[in-house]
Amino acid sequence: MVESIARVKHIRVTPQKARRVVALIKGKQAQEALAILKFAPQAASEPIYKLVESAIANARVKADKDSEFLDEQDLYVANAYVDEGSTLKRFRPRAQGRAFQIKKRTSHITIQLATPEVAETSKKASK
């Protein structure tokens, strides 16, 4: 019964684009999610790939700390979501002395991995 969370904040990818990639891996086995992300053409797949790897490492450390057996093949993406981070505001010069605002959006991405036993007990507790 291992559960791990990994977060990255202020990553320079828009939340809309990151959500498309996160939707690909939600509910999948962790190793399968890594394979999907490795070959996904979207630019947001690289930081999410690193984040899933980090969550796997966090699960390994947590299992060692609690003296539990962990088979990394059992881990799956229990929850994954993207929140909007702060927006960098820049200005672009335009004709006749005007300026247009450019919004460079950032994201906060959270990945939660779990083993199947943890998922069953958390569902029972929420009911």
Is pLDDT at 67 greater than 90 in this prediction?
A: no
Within a 10 A sphere around the Cβ of 1, how many other Cβ atoms? Answer: 15
Is pLDDT at 118 greater than 70 in this prediction?
A: no
> For every residue of the chain, which 3-state class applies, written as one string?
CCEEEEEEEEECCCHHHHHHHHHHHCCCEHHHHHHHHHCCCCCCHHHHHHHHHHHHHHHHHHHHHCCCCCCCCCCEEEEEEEEEEEEEEEEEECHHHCEEEEEEEEEEEEEEEECHHHHHHHHHHHC
117 versus 20: the higher-pLDDT residue is: 20
Give the residue extent of every domain in the chain: 3-114
Residue 42: phi and psi, rounded to 5, are -70, 145
Residue 29 CB partners (closer than 8 Å, separation 6+):
73, 75, 76, 77
Reported as a single tens digit per residue, the pLDDT across 3-59 is: 999 999 999 999 999 999 999 999 999 999 999 999 999 999 999 999 999 999 999
The fold of 3-114 is Ribosomal Protein L22; Chain A (3.90.470)
CB 82 within 8 A of CB 22: yes
